[in-house]
Structure 1
Amino acid sequence: MSHSPSPALARRPWYLATLGGLASYLDSGVLFATALSISLWQSQFGLSAWSVGAVSALLGLSIGAGSLFGGRIGDRFGRKRVYSADLMVFAFGLLWLIFAVNEPMLYVGVVLTGLAAGADMPASLALIGEIAPADKRGRLISYAQLMWGIGIIVVQIVAKLTAFSGTLMPRLLFGQLLLVAVVTWLLRRRLPESEVWVADRERRQVRDGRSWVQVLSRPIVGGLLFTTVFYLLSASMTNFFASFGAYAMIGLFHFDLPTVTSVMTMIGPVGLVCSIVFMRLVDRRTARSAMFAVGAVVQVVALLVLVVLPLDSTVFVICFMAMIAGSSFAGEGNYKVWSQEIFPTSLRGTAQGISFGVARIGAALFALVTPTLLHNDPKFVLTLLLIATVVAMGVGFVFQPRTTGSTIDEIDAAFATDAPPGGTAEAVARKHASAAEPSA
């Protein structure tokens, strides 16, 4: 039985992708708002270096934990139950950050917002992947990643405009996120459940059903290991620049806050432009591989320059910009697209939740010690990031799937219990490899 998206959903995929992609907007928004606020909080509440690391780490750990549960709940009870309810938790957490008067309130705020943002991510991405036409799936998923970049830019603009307002700036940064979260929640309430998920649930009820234990089956665990390792290592690098780029400019190079916000507003558009290019070309198999290779080389070279050359503020800013550009072609966007193409509907959210959760938790644990390491030996931190990035890019280049253009039916059929040996999603893709690539 086919369970492709209905014509009603197919007519408005960009609207649904926008509402789903706002999960990425809120995710990046809270990360960068926290990163830009941490120095002000440090002076306002007397935070130690360990406390600075703890705030960032708790946010990352909570995002990871939320995705572990949110992905499974989305597979078990539906995408809508997750992406509707979690935004209210997110908004409640933002209120703690907006009205924080002491250090414990910061911890409560980042935990609540992190749990909600993490739970939203796998459910929203699965929804987008399931309503998208096969030849535009990568583009719509990349659009969600573009929303991640827009979230950064909006935070940077607000920070630039309010940099001279002192402790009011964090309240305004999180205030605009609160407004977006509430509006998104109101609009999402009108969305239908994923028809692909509903049809898959009915099929599983008629047949033998699927258990989360099947995530450990051979066809699935390979994809899970691949996406987890790639995203864990690449996210450690991007999380460093997202969470501690501004902190490093202030702590290592003694930039004042207005200068930092000016630098960040220059860097943001670079990532946005590269993300648009990626979105336009990602559904072409050859172009996707070529972009990944270019992005990987740019990231490795930028980190190598930081490790080899003496630390200099100008070099750091240039390499920061290069890292943002490179990761737009070889980074989280690739992970999100791959995750829609190599897992079946019944376990798509669960698998994404596991890989996203493990990666974010790993990056958060690294963030816990990053401020202290930066003060003691910044070169050591950059060397660790270089090693992680080289391994991540190598894994991504060698093992990236060739599933571009496969329909949801084809992907699910490859994981059916009566599928022939070797019936993985990639095998289905090879079967259809002779099909012409989609146009831009």
Structure 2
Amino acid sequence: MTTVAKKRGITGWKATIAVAMSNYIEAGAIIALATSLTLWQDAFGFDDSLVGVIAAVSANAFGAALGALIGGPLCDRLGRKFIYTYDLILFMIGALMITFTASTGLLILGVVLMGIAVGAGVPASWTYIAEEAPSESRAAHVGTAQLAWSIGPAIGFALAILVEPWGVNGSRMIFFHLFVIAAVTWWVRRGLPESTRWKEQREAELASGVKVSFFSGMRGLLAERKNWGALLFLLGVYGLWNTVAGQAGIFQPRVYEAAGVESATQQNLLQVLVWVLTAAATYFGFMKYGDKISRRWLYFAGALLGVVAWVVLIFAPPGAFSLLFYAVAWGISAGIGAQAFYGLWTAELFATKYRASAQGVLFMLARVMVGLLSLVFPVLLTSMGLAKLGLLIIGLLVAALLIGTIWAPETRGKTLEEIELARYGAKADA
């Protein structure tokens, strides 16, 4: 695709940042709910079981899973721009519902709508950014999505500290801030062009008379045996890690409470530290070095640090040292860890005509895994305690470390077309 080679990255950093805001909004939605679940529980009087259900149907789990299952194939069928133009409208509706909710039912509906919008938007954003990025700086561009994902919680937890005196009404203000961010992002995105690679892929299909349907991307993805190995690899890297990170995102205040920190302000301050360090590690680690040094060993360093962080939090004597060590280590590890590499490798390991469908399938499965554990996590944490539940957490992180380190692909510096040729032996869309 000579035209792609000439135009790669033509939209530049403005487009990268605008599309990456899906990740700020995703993380912001998760943290807004995480910092307010107890407040909503007190206001509306539901029990811990319903807390788990609400967390499970949110942007953290099943809600996003449903959105990804729909959005991935639509992104391959109608284009990347179609998704990132319309998904935020649904998100804004959900955010307004929660802002003004007076009942548990409306709260749940708003959570679900925001989750579906996030699930559709995040895979589309990762796909678009990677397709438009120059091959020599693809990690830097994809890392921008991870950077936005990190800044979202940092701001979210800081806002939770500021509005804490207002209780549940303060949480409403946080959701309204997400509505405003989504509205501004939607306006900026309206002027962005379609992915160059997707347009040329579609033109080639039309010229050859290929009939494209909603299921075309999914059929092409599953029909190629090489894709199954890539799907399993990425599910091992991201799915297992995200099952832990998903509980940390939505239930971390309860984990801190189990570790001895009962003050909501102290819990949120620890989380601000985690996410500020995640953002810093993303920028100074993944974005600066992901295109320059061995990705295998960069991934290994981040994954190992994440394992150590949880070991210290769970098994070290409770106190300031263990909590601060966890916050620093987990924050840095997340910046150069599984999610950043997942966004990069998922774009690289699949052909253009079903790249977004692959993103949708993987994001859906990862969110289902989070959702299944979220359904019972609050109850398990209360009944089993952090030490016993921690063995499951550490086991998942160790598995993700081994899978990502052993089978890390060598794709650094190559164009998406060169990677595709090496993987399939011929152009998958030929």
Whether these two folds match at TM > 0.5 is yes
- State how far apart, in whole Å, the 2-side matches of 1:201 and 1:176 are: 37
Change (3 A) 1:392 1:159: same
TM-aligned CA deviation for residue 74 of structure 1: 0.4
Of residues 200, 210, 213, the one that matches 2:219 is 213
CA shift for structure 1 position 5: 6.0
* Cα displacement string for residues 57-101 of structure 1 (whole angstroms, at most 9, x for unaligned residues): 111101011111111100011111111111000000001111121
Q: CA deviation at 1:399?
A: 0.9
Counterpart among 370, 387, 393 of residue 385 in structure 1? 393
Q: Which residue of 2 aligns with 1:428?
A: none
Name the structure 1 match of 2:24. 25
Residue 150 (structure 1) shift: 0.8
Mapped to 2, the partners of 1:332 and 1:102 lie a distance apart of 35
Q: Which moved more, 1:117-126 or 1:247-256?
A: 247-256
- Counterpart of 1:192 in 2: which secondary structure? coil
- Could you say which residue in structure 2 is the equivalent of 1:193? 194
Tell me what 2:417 maps to. 409
- 1:189 deviates by 1.2
- SS of 1:10's partner is coil
Change in CA separation of 1:323 and 1:254 when aligned onto 2, cut-off 3 Å: closer
Does structure 2 conserve the Cα–Cα contact (< 8 Å) formed by 1:86 and 1:117? yes
8 Å CA contact 1:2–1:409 kept in 2: the answer is no
CA contact (8 A) 2:259 2:313 kept: no
- Asked if residue 61 in structure 1 is aligned to residue 76 in structure 2, the reply is no
Task: Give the % identical residues.
Answer: 30
Equivalent position of 1:370 in the other structure: 377
CA distance in 2, matches of 1:312, 1:52: 28
Which residue type is aligned with residue 188 of structure 1? Answer: R
Structure 1 alignment gaps of length 5 or more: 425-440
Matches of 2:165 and 2:88, distance apart in 1: 30
Q: Is the 8 A contact 2:126 2:142 kept in 1?
A: yes
Deviations 1:105-161 (A, max 9, x none): 121011000000110011111111111111011110001110001111111221121
What corresponds to 1:259 in structure 2? 266
Instruction: State the match for 2:290 in structure 1.
Output: 282
Q: CA–CA distance in 1 between the matches of 2:301 and 2:261? A: 33
Residue 4 of structure 2 aligns with an amino acid whose one-letter code is: S
**Corresponding position of 2:357:** 350
2:49, 2:375 within 8 Å by CA — same for their partners in 1?
Answer: yes
Q: Does the CA-based 8 Å contact 1:306-1:382 persist in structure 2? A: no
Matched residues in 2 for 1:271 and 1:323: separation? 8
Deviation per residue, 1:1-41 (Å, 9 max, x gap): 4341664x734411111111000000100011110011111
Q: CA deviation at 1:341?
A: 1.0
Q: Match for 2:348: what amino acid?
A: E
Aligned-partner residue type, residue 127 of structure 1: Y
The question of whether the paired residues in 2 share the 8 Å contact of 1:5 and 1:196 is answered with no
Q: Contact (CA 8 Å) 2:296, 2:404: kept in 1 or not?
A: no
Out of 341, 358, 368, which is 1:334 matched to? 341
Q: In 2, Cα distance between the equivalents of 1:263 and 1:239? A: 17
**Secondary structure of 2:35's aligned partner:** helix
Read off the aligned partner of 1:125 and give its amino acid letter. W
Offset of 1:195 from its aligned partner? Answer: 1.7
What is the match of residue 430 of structure 1?
Answer: none
Corresponding residue number in structure 1 for 2:39: 40
CA contact (8 A) 1:63 1:360 kept: yes
- Contact 2:10 2:132 survives alignment (8 Å): no
Distance 1:91 1:138 in 2: 30
> 1:313–1:102: structure 2 CA closer, same or farther, 3 Å change rule?
farther
Q: Which amino acid is the alignment partner of residue 220 of structure 2?
A: Q
What SS class does the counterpart of residue 4 from structure 2 fall into? coil
Rounded to whole Å, the distance in 2 between the matches of 1:90 and 1:98 is 12
Shift of 1:208: 6.9
Matched with 2:49 is 50
SS in 1 for 2:74: helix
AA matched with 2:155: V
Q: Distance in 1 between matches of 2:128 and 2:343?
A: 12
Residue pair 1:6, 1:195 contacting (<8 A) in 2 also: no
Counterpart for residue 435 of structure 1:
none
The CA deviation at 1:219 is 1.9
Query: How far did residue 251 of structure 1 move?
Result: 5.7
| CA spacing shift, 1:42–1:313, aligned 2, 3 Å | farther
The 1:219/1:162 distance shift into structure 2, 3 A limit, reads same
Q: Aligned equivalents of 2:207 and 2:80: distance in 1?
A: 21
CA RMSD of aligned residues (A): 2.0
Distance 2:63 2:308 in 1: 32
Partner of 1:84: 85
Partner of 1:434: none
The residue number in structure 1 matching 2:305 is 298
Q: What TM-score, normalized to structure 2?
A: 0.92
| Residues 172-187 of structure 1 aligned to structure 2 (within 5 Å) | 172-187=173-188
Moved over 4 A (4+): 310-314
Identify the residue that residue 396 of structure 1 maps to in structure 2.
404
Counterpart residue identity of residue 193, structure 1: E
> Residue 249 of structure 1 corresponds to which residue in structure 2?
256
How far apart are residue 300 of structure 1 and its match? 1.6
For these two proteins, the number of residue pairs brought into alignment is 418
Q: In 2, Cα distance between the equivalents of 1:203 and 1:319?
A: 51
CA distance, structure 2, for counterparts of residue 251 and residue 365 of structure 1: 21
In 1, the alpha carbon distance for the partners of 2:304 and 2:56 equals 28
* Equivalent position of 2:230 in the other structure: 223
Cα deviation for residue 252 of structure 1 reads 5.5
Cα offset, 1:326, TM superposition: 1.3
User: Structure 2: where are the runs of 5+ without partners?
Assistant: none
3-state SS of paired residue (1:4): helix
Aligned partner of 1:273 in structure 2 is 280
Normalised by the length of structure 1, the TM-score is 0.90
Residue 307 of structure 1: how far off its partner (Å)? 4.1
> How far 1:254 moved relative to its partner?
5.2
- AA aligned to 2:114 is T
Specify the code of the residue in structure 1 equivalent to 2:247.
F
Displacement after TM superposition at 1:297 (Å) = 1.6
SS state at 1:253 partner: coil
**Structure 2 residue matching 1:397: 3-state secondary structure:** helix
Instruction: Determine the C-alpha separation between the residues in 1 that align with 2:382 and 2:225.
Output: 44
SS at the partner of 2:57?
A: helix
Asked if 1:151 is matched to 2:164, the reply is no
Report how far residue 409 of structure 1 moved: 2.6
- Letter of the 2:336 partner, please give it: F
Q: Provide Cα deviations, 1:287-325, integer angstroms capped at 9, x if missing partner.
A: x22221211221122222344345557524532432222
Aligned to 1:167: 168
